[in-house]
Amino acid sequence: MLTFYHAPRSRSFSIFWLLEELGEPYTIELVDIRAEAGVPESYRAIQPHKKVPAIVHDGTTVTERAAISLYLADAFPESDLAPALGDPMRAAYLTALVYTDAVLDPIIATKALDISYKPGDVSFGSLADAVANLEKRLGAQDYAAGDRFTAADTQLGSALHYGINIFGALPRLPVFQAYLHPLLARPALQQCMQKDEALATQGSLKP
């Protein structure tokens, strides 16, 4: 049994998208991260910072999007969303997946919130370095980890989409647009966007 703790229009979208790509059955538990009274204290037992996403799979709790992505893609190998141990793509896959949360996410957040900092003082460095790195990597390959879609793309694709199209924190470079175009056309992502909007506006997936 797989339970997904989610809030619409939030960072847990990337895991929602991954779950739709996997096609495995799961149930959604909505967490109202915008509630005036705050997220109930009881949720801390699932996610220690009371943030979304989190998953509970057959009694095992996993938090943090990079870890959840790695866990789910490995737990369902038939989905072919994780290069296996020994696969030459594995290193690039791990790198892209962790880079998205550890480097790109705080860079987008600090830019969107207009927070200034010295790149040498923080672990994630500068916006210019991240843009240059991603421009180079995505100029040389179609997907985050190489020539095929993996769970690194649900993370990187979500971050780039949000960073460019929602927050305007990243430049609309042709190489980013070329990367996002086929991702945005994927049926699982389209489905997920529709479901997320239904959850945001109706609070449920019922028609």
Ligand X SMILES: N[C@@H](CCC(=O)N[C@@H](CS)C(=O)NCC(=O)O)C(=O)O
The residues that touch ligand X, with contacts defined as CB under 6 A, are 10-11, 33, 39, 50-53, 64-65, 101
CB of 46 to ligand X, least distance (A): 12
Residue with Cβ nearer ligand X (11 or 137): 11
Residue with Cβ nearer ligand X (112 or 198): 112
C-alpha–C-alpha distance, residues 132 and 142, integer Å: 16
CB of 7 to ligand X, least distance (A): 6
Specify whether the CB–CB gap between 130 and 104 falls below 8 A. yes
CB of 109 to ligand X, least distance (A): 9
Please provide the DSSP assignment of 52-121 as one string.
S-EEEETTEEEESHHHHHHHHHHH-GGG--SPPTT-TTHHHHHHHHHHIIIIIHHHHHHHHTT----GGG
Residue with Cβ nearer ligand X (62 or 146): 62
Residue with Cβ nearer ligand X (7 or 134): 7
Phi then psi dihedrals of residue 93, to 5 deg = -65, -50
CB of 152 to ligand X, least distance (A): 14
Residue with Cβ nearer ligand X (166 or 178): 166
Cβ count within 10 A of residue 15: 26
CB of 102 to ligand X, least distance (A): 9
Residue with tokens 């993370």: 155
Residue nearest ligand X, CB atom distance: 51
Write the single-letter amino acid at 103: V
